[in-house]
Amino acid sequence: MKKIIRFTLALTLVFTTLFTSACGDVAKKDVKFKIVASFYPMYITALNLTDGIDGVEVVNLTNGRVGCLHDYQLTTGNMKTLTAANVFIINGGGMEEFMPRVEKDNPKLVVIDSTKDLNIDWIKDDEGHVNSHVWMNIRHYIEQVRTIAKGLAAADPTHATVYDNNARHYEERLLRLEEEMKKELEGLPHRDVVTYHESFPYFAKEFNINVVANIEEEPGHEPSPRQIEDMVKKLSSLKNKVILTESATAPSSAEMIAYETGAQIYAIDPIEGGESNKYAYIDAMRKNAKALREALK
């Protein structure tokens, strides 16, 4: 009887050891290289660059709940997410105003600034603030993709080749997109538009669209009655009166100006939020081209 008990205990010990060892292997396999993107366009970029790589997790810090990051305040949950991250991808150009806090609390976090090597004429407002919506220009966005791919390859050299290959494939798609959009928008009889927000100038520069004015001169601040009056005068002088907003539901000030001038309102996607889909940028830009063609023809 004692022999049976000893044999049973020994067998139990063997199975326990094997089970523990197996669990250890599973745990090792579950260890991920965690990439956090500051907001939606950086998140979509990371999805493309990590395509087909096992063990890499991509997280959108703001979960698509916010559009542009102007004045965004980091939450406790955001800080916990960054503490567990290996890499933090940001747009740069002053978009992420919260970066001093991130760098102070996470001094060892690898930060990839997608615009640090971007050699362009930055568009600035009257107060000298840089417009950082550069991803709306396909050529600028391609440079951002390249910079992010290099940063990921340096931070995760095991997958460096895959990051590089994915960047090349994505760039090819983006170049085809640019050519397609140029054909879509060529030969239009009108080029003047009024936009609601400041997210459009880099796009406009690439595709030869003339932004006459922005209704909302400062993000999050509705225009004053005097500014609305000035906007009505500017729009009234145009042959083709078009207002571009950033959603299908236009702000009340845009509706008011459209009513006073007879302008038509069209929605343009600034690609600051949407589905978790690696083709989201390309799909949104195609829709933007079609909306513009309809507005300006």
- pTM recorded for the entire structure: 0.88
Q: Three-class SS of residue 274?
A: coil
pLDDT bracket for residue 15 (50, 70, 90): very low
Cβ–Cβ under 8 Å, residues 38 and 90: yes
Summarised one tens digit per residue, pLDDT across range 237-257 is: 999 999 999 877 788 999 999
pLDDT in tens, 199-228: 999 999 999 999 998 998 766 678 889 989
pLDDT on residue 125:
83
Every domain of the chain and the residues it spans: 30-182, 187-296
Confidence of residue 90 (pLDDT cuts 50, 70, 90): very high
SS (H, E, C) 79-127: HHHHHCCCEEEECCCCCCCCHHHHHHHCCCCEEEECCCCCCCCCCECCC
pLDDT averaged over every residue in the chain? 88
Select 30-182's CATH number: 3.40.50.1820, 2.40.50.140, 3.40.50.1980, 3.40.50.300. 3.40.50.1980
How far apart are the C-alpha atoms of 31 and 50, rounded to whole Å? 16
Closest CA to 211 of 173, 256, 268: 268
For residues 291 and 184, give the distance between their C-alpha atoms in angstroms, rounded to a whole number: 10
CATH topology of domain 187-296: Rossmann fold (3.40.50)
pLDDT at 93 over 60: yes
